[in-house]
Structure 1
Amino acid sequence: MTHKETLADIANVLLDPATSPALLRDTIETYRDLLLTASGIDLGEAGGVDHLDTGRGVAIGVTWAALCVDDLIRTQRFVAGLYQAVTEVAARRAGPVHVLYAGTGPFATLALPLMTRFTPAQLQFSCIEINARSKQAAERVVKSLDFDAFVADFIKADAATYAIDTARPVDIVLSETMQYCLIDEMQVPITLNLMGQLPPQTILIPEQIRLSLVVLDADSDRIVRDLGAILSVDKHSLLAHRGVATDADFPTVRLSVPVHVPLLSPTPVSGPLAIRTGVTVYGEHVLNDYDSGLTIPRIIGDYPDSSDPLEAIDFTYKLLPAPLLWMEFILPEPVASN
């Protein structure tokens, strides 16, 4: 079986909603091995784990970017969501669907399976990657699989500042450059920059990233209460923020922390406070709690009690000097003594 035939089988598994966990695991292992062979990457190579500081955030090292493929459900849902978006665009107009893929990493992992389902006349990618080693590896993968005709451009650039320079209209912006809670990496600056240059009908993948404050069960880590939304990153919020200032902080959100939280148990118990990340890739393709490394709640502290009181938390998503969810814990005003 050729590499292209193997990749076609991989695409079939990733796009089948009935795929079992065991088959998905085995298929991703096969996919990773194919990608490593085609790219020539040595995961233990010197410098491969080094992150690249862009001056405005972090682009993860080649090795870490390569290992993202092992996040099974994340890989499957993003490939399936992208496939649905491309199919929908192709159904409503003639000509190739143009995907601007920002942050390809060393494999262009999310693009390759679709190249077995469409022709170059139906689908084109413009690929942006800031890390020179990742860009070169992705180019080797595409060439090795004889998919050159699907890629209009390989661009070495910081997608957070890149000025789109293409005569072909962009139908879909694909950027999966995030960690849970939108820590460090460049997802927000990249999508803020690119979507600000494109018409409102352009599809953004992922469609929405949601952060919220939650309470976990102390014993099981199960989410037992959602205390409110912190931030949503989607086309609407990016457009609204773009109208304010590219580098400005997002609006501060204050969420109160109730003294007592009723849990689903006979005896009320207050577990840790955490930040929850939810991801809608596209349509019905979502990443729920614990589906992925992206959606593991991040514990930020114990639930307050009388000995350690807390009134509220202020959350501000900052873009400078690097992407960061800033938190300020608001303590109750001291009670004046008579």
Structure 2
Amino acid sequence: MSHKAILQNIGSIFKKEENDFLELTQTINNYKEITYSLSDINLENEANRADIHFNNGKALGTAWAAMCIDDIIRTKIFVKSVFNAIETLKEKKSRPIHILYAGTGPFATLLLPIFATYSPKEVKATLLEINQESFDSVKQVISKLGFEGHIVSYENEDATTFTIDKAIPVDIILSETLQCGLVKEQQVPITLNLLNQVPKNTILIPEMLALDVCLLNLKAYENRTETTPETDYCIVLDRLIEINNTSNIEFQLDNTTTETKILSEKEITVLPKEATQFETLVLITRMTIFGDNKIKINESGLTVPIIIQVFNNQTTEKKFKISYKIDSEPGYVIHW
């Protein structure tokens, strides 16, 4: 079976509504085998493990970016969402759908099944990657697969300051440059920069990212089932920040400065009666990738609750401030 046929089959499995983890595990293994075989990158080389640091976050080293494929639900939901977004747009467009993929990593993992499924007359992409090793690799992979017809351009640039060529309108902005808690990487500044340059109806993938400050009953959380209501084990105290396709209006961000930018700050009060039943203060990353496609709590490394503090026998109110900042190490900061 050809690589294209295998990638088509991988895409069809990722598109399924249900999750068969045995099937998904085998599919991810097949996907890794293809991508690794097409690239000359030595993932054991220390040089390929070096991250690139900027004044607004870091870009992952090539080896770490390659390993993102191992997060099964993350990869499946993102690829499924791209398929869904394309199908949503197809009937409305008389030209190829144009995807701007910011942060491709060494393999353009989220688009290879797309290119295998659709013709260049249906889907094209601009591939944007700052890491030189990853950039060289992704060009090599696309060439070996014969997908060059899908490529509008390759851009070896920083996505947080990249200027979009207006000659071909962008229909979908795709970027998966993030970690749990929206820390360290450049997802937020990349998103805000690109949104500033496209119409409001441009599809953003992920569609919504948010950080919620919550209280968990840890035992109830660990014993939950798929049908357990979240309110049985979790109280949302406040939403620290939300990033969606209008966030560039709310958050004005100059990506060229080295100053720390506070995008949001909230004052949180934890009441004794809440902390008695829900004793663990956590930060939960919420993710809607596209439409009904969401990555739920603990389904992926991206959505594991971040434990901040455990309250034991608290008898008084506890107040603190939490902010979300952009600088050389983006993320949340807690002020007790």
What is the TM-score of this pair, normalised by structure 1?
0.90
C-alpha separation between the residues in 1 aligned to 2:279 and 2:173? 39
**Residue 332 of structure 1 corresponds to which residue in structure 2?**
none
Gaps of 5+ in 2: 223-232
SS at match of 1:260: helix
Within-5 A mapping of 1:1-338: 1-219=1-219, 221-222=221-222, 223-242=233-252, 248-261=261-274, 268-303=276-311, 305-306=313-314, 311-329=318-336
C-alpha separation between the residues in 2 aligned to 1:37 and 1:166? 35
More helix by share: 2
Question: Per-residue deviation at 1:251?
Answer: 3.0
Question: Per-residue deviation at 1:39?
Answer: 1.5
Name the CA shift for 1:188/1:53 in 2 (closer, same or farther; >3 Å): same
**Residue 265 of structure 1 corresponds to which residue in structure 2?**
none
Q: Which has the higher mean CA deviation after the structures are superposed, 44-53 or 214-223? A: 214-223
Name the CA shift for 1:259/1:55 in 2 (closer, same or farther; >3 Å): same
Q: What root-mean-square deviation, in Å, do the aligned CA atoms of Structure 1 and Structure 2 show?
A: 1.8
C-alpha separation between the residues in 1 aligned to 2:40 and 2:19? 29
Q: Which has the higher mean CA deviation after the structures are superposed, 53-62 or 184-193? A: 53-62
C-alpha separation between the residues in 1 aligned to 2:28 and 2:175? 20
Question: Per-residue deviation at 1:233?
Answer: 0.7
C-alpha separation between the residues in 2 aligned to 1:279 and 1:21? 20
Q: Which has the higher mean CA deviation after the structures are superposed, 71-80 or 222-231? A: 222-231
Are the counterparts in 2 of residues 259 and 304 from structure 1 also a CA contact under 8 Å?
no
Are the counterparts in 2 of residues 13 and 19 from structure 1 also a CA contact under 8 Å?
no
C-alpha separation between the residues in 2 aligned to 1:58 and 1:228? 27
Higher relative contact order (CA 8 A, sep 6+): 2
What is the TM-score of this pair, normalised by structure 2?
0.91
- Structure having the higher Rg: 1
C-alpha separation between the residues in 1 aligned to 2:120 and 2:132? 25
SS at match of 2:47: coil
SS at match of 2:192: helix
Report how many residues are paired. 322
Identical positions, percent: 32
SS at match of 2:162: coil
Name the CA shift for 1:19/1:276 in 2 (closer, same or farther; >3 Å): closer
Name the CA shift for 1:19/1:277 in 2 (closer, same or farther; >3 Å): closer
C-alpha separation between the residues in 1 aligned to 2:59 and 2:328? 14
C-alpha separation between the residues in 1 aligned to 2:263 and 2:44? 39
Gaps of 5+ in 1: 263-267, 330-338
C-alpha separation between the residues in 2 aligned to 1:304 and 1:231? 28
C-alpha separation between the residues in 2 aligned to 1:321 and 1:10? 37
Are the counterparts in 1 of residues 322 and 332 from structure 2 also a CA contact under 8 Å?
yes
